[in-house]
Amino acid sequence: MQLMSFLRSSPTSSKRSSYNRNFDMPEDSTAETSEHVGGAMLPIFLNDLQRNNDKDIVEVRLELDDNSIVLCSVTPTPPHNTNVAAGEEEHSPSGIPSNSTYASAIASRICRKFQWLRSPGRDDHHQFHGNQLMTTNLSAAREEMKSKLQVERNKPSAGCALGGLRFISKSTRESDINELWGKVETRFDALAKDGLLSREDFGECIGMEDSKEFAVGIFNALERRRRRQKTAKINKAELHEFWLQISDQSFDARLQIFFDMADSNGDGRITREEVQELIMLSASVNKLSRLKECAAEYASLIMEELDPEGLGYIELWQLETLLLQRDNYMSYSRPLSTTTLEWSQNLGISKTNIIVKKASCALKCLVLDNWQRGWILLLWLSVMTALFTWKFLQYRQMAAFQVMGYCLATAKGAAETLKFNMALILLPVCRNILTRLRSTRARILIPFDDNINFHKIIAHAIAVGIILHAANHLACDFPHLVNSSPEKFALVASDFDKLKPTYRSLLIGVEGITGISMVTLMTIAFTLATRRFRRSILKLPPPLNRLTGFNAFWYSHHLLALVYVLLILHGTFLFFVHKWYQKTTWMYISIPLILYIAERSLRIWRSEDYAVKILKVSVLPGDLLSLIMSKPEGFKYKSGQYIFLQCPTISSFEWHPFSITSAPGDNYLSVHIRIVGDWTKELKRVFTEDRSSACVVGRAKFNEHENVDQRGLPRMLVDGPYGAPAQDYQNYDALLLVGLGIGATPFISILKDLLNNTRPHENDLNTETSASDDSWTSFVSSSTTSSVKKKSQRIRSAHFYWVTREPGSFEWFKGVMNEVSEMDHKGRIEMHNYLTSVYEEGDARSTLITMIQALNHAKHGVDILSGTRVRTHFARPKWMEVFKRIALKHPYSTVGVFYCGMPVLAKELKKLSQELTYKTSTRFEFHKENF
């Protein structure tokens, strides 16, 4: 034993005894953190003693009897380090004084926690003696801790904390402050009435329009300090005085304002109730409703840490102590959510010849990142140019050229490229073929990740070809032919049965009708496929609003099946070509069309064979639907791939793609679906509405555990799996996985697969999961992992960054994060959660939340926002720092950067991948999920 076993035991001796024991550490103190008394810093203090047990041992002398424990003395053992100057105290690595100061506070808290000083039947003399001893020691400890505060401030580690508590977001230069005051002054002139600014408009005036409640708190604090009375309005001079205090860059000034905000009665002390009010204010500003519900609990946590004497209040210096030691708390967070390697911004990059190096780097990045696309596009353009030139020269030699001129040659050249592109455009959407090709060496030369982009490029080329072909025919060829002289028409009369056509007869002929019909259908399909229509960005009034959205895109795209039928007819009835082997349209499109028809037929047949049974349905916070389905027999996939789902109850034609979130070794199939469109909303309704009416078909019924009653349940069909960039994750030494919101789904399966491959073989069949009922892994407890021995992987570590705006999103994959934290004993997986709805760390609006998070994580090992051991960071990641850190951790390695989210960030990550590849010894390869 040791201290921890002593804390859990009660005195058993019937007489007073002298108990003399050193602070020896148990084997695993961190695992017992949540059971210990003494605040969040107790396990940290004891860990420091364990690491430095030769010099940080403290002897605590306690007297025990049946009903009480009395603190007699706290004596540090003589230090072994002879280099410490006389009168100078050593400090532990965490920054906590390694002497009797903190040990005394801990011991007194032990006494108070168990209430052994005021037990029934306790002798009054002994009780008074114990209280007096404790009061004397605590007063001395309090004064000594206060005197050490300045030492803490002078440490290099205090720089980050001293730079926090910002009330304005702009940086600290005087010129910036003056510039911002000009804007504040302008807003004052617009908001003030009769030269006075109201308290309610103060936030908007100083630039806190999105957190007016917090600004009112600042206003009240500054007003109490100035007048000691409440006022509702201030003039411009008073506003300027307030502004100077808010923008003061000294830490003391900012800390005083923050303290005054909590100190609502202005007595220089903060009580637990006042701390609770400030927590609720900070939670409200950052839209953290769950934190508001636990405000009382977290206020008690802060008081327990800062008020070890139990006085019922804390003072300014104690709040400062907590701020300065925030990093010490965080350093004990699990490595999977913290930086595991210190790094320097100096990566050895020479600053000479910066322009030349930047140009060289840009050129290298351009070549390295685009050589696959480049040669494919070059080949494609070369083929189109060759076809256009060949057909142009062919018609240049024909008699019809004498009648219609270059218009005919241009139209026919464009037609030849159209036939080629109408055939080629089918290949990038043959997903089964591409999925198989991804597993071959063809992936070295062909950028399969860009299949949809190439499909779009071909579509644009088709649009250009249609314009050239149709415009030249309608505006040039036909008028020349109709208005030609009899001598010129005689050159082509045999092609028109000796009858000169009219403009109308040309339009209503087979070629004219099929051509105009194709142009009309393709215009509709191309227009509704544009981003503004497909994603309902363009808002149209009813009933035209039905032309926007995914459904309009989906159905209009199927009009192209009719276009191919018309294309064959159009290529058969030609004016100047009569031999069958010269009518080449069918030759171009036959093989791609057969492949595409076979692809669709396979999908239809396979989907019927892959009808799945719904095992669990959950509606998670943030409007997310989690589906856990039975795994079809013979269904094999890789982590990172995706499937198409169809619900015949909703539509027999619509298939929608979703990333697979289960691992290949799981005996079930899971997807997470964000409810954002018409189809997903209907899917949620179908699976969650419980209607007893017999005429309503396909409604999922839930019992109290949300297990699905299969009676009357609609069918779900699965098509896939299909290849995606992330499926090649095993080809890299390390991974950087970045998901925005629901974009995390492709990487959940990868993390699960990595975990399964590192899990000890003997635990494969017996591992239970601690997932919450709302998480998909709550089903894992009834599943078993494949016992087949996994092949060795190249991957050494994975870094997962999940950026989301809603704190409720963390519930989606809470089970995965808990499982990783429990099972990843080798530390191969780092998980980083970022919540962008909370103001960045260092902002006064999030400072208290940061402190609570640090305390709770140090004491319980659980994050207050995600409810997992993975600590949540605030605001957006600093991606340059992330890349540099990974580059230093994995030198001379290839890092696969996989991203799923908005295109804007993709460009930034791609640029950083290129830039760091040539500035460091690490090669970053960027891939964006796109399906």
Of the pLDDT bands very low, low, confident and very high (cuts 50, 70, 90), residue 646 is confident
- Residue 660's DSSP bridge partners are 671
Is residue 301 situated within a structural domain? no
Do 570 and 642 have their domain in common?
A: no
Question: Burial code of 457-494, b = ≥16 C-beta within 10 A, e = fewer?
Answer: bbeebbeebbebbbebbbebbbeebeebeeebbeebee
CB contact at 8 A, 632 and 612: yes
Do 468 and 518 have their domain in common?
A: yes
What gap in Å lies between CA 908 and CA 512, rounded to an integer? 49
Span 456-461, average pLDDT:
94
- The secondary structure of residue 333, as a DSSP letter, is S
Do 659 and 699 have their domain in common?
A: yes
pLDDT of residue 362: 66
Span 606-627, average pLDDT:
84
Span 497-501, average pLDDT:
82
Which amino acid belongs to residue 373? R
- Residue 719's DSSP bridge partners are 644
Span 389-415, average pLDDT:
89
What gap in Å lies between CA 290 and CA 304, rounded to an integer? 21
Residue 499: which residues within 8 A CB-CB, separation 6 or more?
Answer: none
Span 336-344, average pLDDT:
43
Does residue 348 register a pLDDT over 50? no
Q: Which of 723, 741, 769 is the last residue of a domain?
A: 723
- 3-state SS string over 477-510? HHHHHHCCCHHHHCCCHHHHCCCCCCHHHHHHCH
- Within 10 angstroms of residue 633's Cβ, the number of other Cβ atoms is 7
- Residue 895's DSSP bridge partners are 734, 924
CB contact at 8 A, 885 and 916: no
CA distances from 422 to 392, 552, 573, 592 (A): 19, 22, 18, 9
Is residue 121 situated within a structural domain? no
Do 615 and 545 have their domain in common?
A: no
pLDDT of residue 665: 84
Does residue 418 register a pLDDT over 90? yes
pLDDT of residue 23: 36
Tokens of 111: 């006494």
Which amino acid belongs to residue 320? E
**Which CATH number is 905's domain given?**
3.40.50.80
Tokens of 444: 């070295």
Lowest mean pLDDT among 281-285, 356-360, 469-473, 780-784: 780-784
Do 816 and 847 have their domain in common?
A: yes
pLDDT of residue 375: 92
pLDDT of residue 105: 52
158 closest CA partner among 97, 101, 95:
95
Domains identified in the chain, total number: 3
pLDDT of residue 319: 81
Of the pLDDT bands very low, low, confident and very high (cuts 50, 70, 90), residue 761 is very low
User: What is the overall mean pLDDT for the chain?
Assistant: 74
Per-residue model confidence as pLDDT tens digits over 243-297: 888 887 777 788 888 888 888 888 888 888 988 898 898 888 888 888 888 888 8
The segment with the largest mean pLDDT, out of 309-323, 343-357, 492-506, 662-676, is: 662-676
Any idea which residue has 């009375």 for tokens? 229
CB contact at 8 A, 5 and 46: no
Residue 903: which residues within 8 A CB-CB, separation 6 or more?
Answer: 928
Q: Which of 601, 622, 642 is the last residue of a domain?
A: 601
Q: Which of 697, 723, 749 is the last residue of a domain?
A: 723
CB contact at 8 A, 71 and 134: yes
Per-residue model confidence as pLDDT tens digits over 873-910: 888 888 998 999 999 888 888 899 999 988 888 888 88
CB contact at 8 A, 878 and 832: no
- The secondary structure of residue 229, as a DSSP letter, is S
749 closest CA partner among 800, 804, 790:
800
pLDDT of residue 501: 85
Is residue 381 situated within a structural domain? yes
pLDDT of residue 138: 56
Do 588 and 610 have their domain in common?
A: no
Tokens of 501: 């056509």
Do 812 and 919 have their domain in common?
A: yes
What gap in Å lies between CA 564 and CA 676, rounded to an integer? 33
Do 820 and 850 have their domain in common?
A: yes
**Which CATH number is 685's domain given?**
2.40.30.10
Give ∠ CA 380-385-387 in degrees, rounded to 5: 95
- Alpha helix ranges (H) inside 864-902: 879-889
Is residue 80 situated within a structural domain? no
Consecutive H or E run containing 556? helix 550-557
Does residue 918 register a pLDDT over 50? yes
CB contact at 8 A, 229 and 190: no
Do 587 and 665 have their domain in common?
A: no
pLDDT of residue 391: 92
Is residue 522 situated within a structural domain? yes
Portion of the chain with pLDDT greater than 90, in percent: 13
Does residue 856 register a pLDDT over 60? yes
Do 740 and 826 have their domain in common?
A: yes
> Residue 354: helix, strand or coil by DSSP?
helix
Is residue 143 situated within a structural domain? no
Per-residue model confidence as pLDDT tens digits over 375-400: 999 999 999 999 999 999 998 888 88
Is residue 165 situated within a structural domain? no
667 closest CA partner among 706, 641, 635, 713:
635
Is residue 214 situated within a structural domain? no
Lowest mean pLDDT among 45-54, 159-168, 637-646, 876-885: 45-54
pLDDT of residue 243: 86
Lowest mean pLDDT among 58-72, 314-328, 729-743: 58-72
Does residue 691 register a pLDDT over 70? no
Of the pLDDT bands very low, low, confident and very high (cuts 50, 70, 90), residue 555 is confident
Burial of 444 (0-12, 13-18, 19+ CB in 10 A): exposed
Does residue 562 register a pLDDT over 90? yes
Tokens of 268: 């220089």
Do 625 and 646 have their domain in common?
A: yes
pLDDT of residue 54: 46
Length of the chain: 931
Q: What is the extent of the structural domain holding 704?
A: 606-723
Do 913 and 868 have their domain in common?
A: yes
- The secondary structure of residue 475, as a DSSP letter, is I
- The secondary structure of residue 473, as a DSSP letter, is I
- Residue 341's DSSP bridge partners are none
Per-residue model confidence as pLDDT tens digits over 692-707: 333 333 333 333 334 4
What gap in Å lies between CA 132 and CA 134, rounded to an integer? 5
pLDDT of residue 124: 46
The segment with the largest mean pLDDT, out of 169-173, 513-517, 849-853, is: 513-517
Instruction: Please give the span between the terminal C-alpha atoms of the chain, in angstroms, as a whole number.
Output: 59
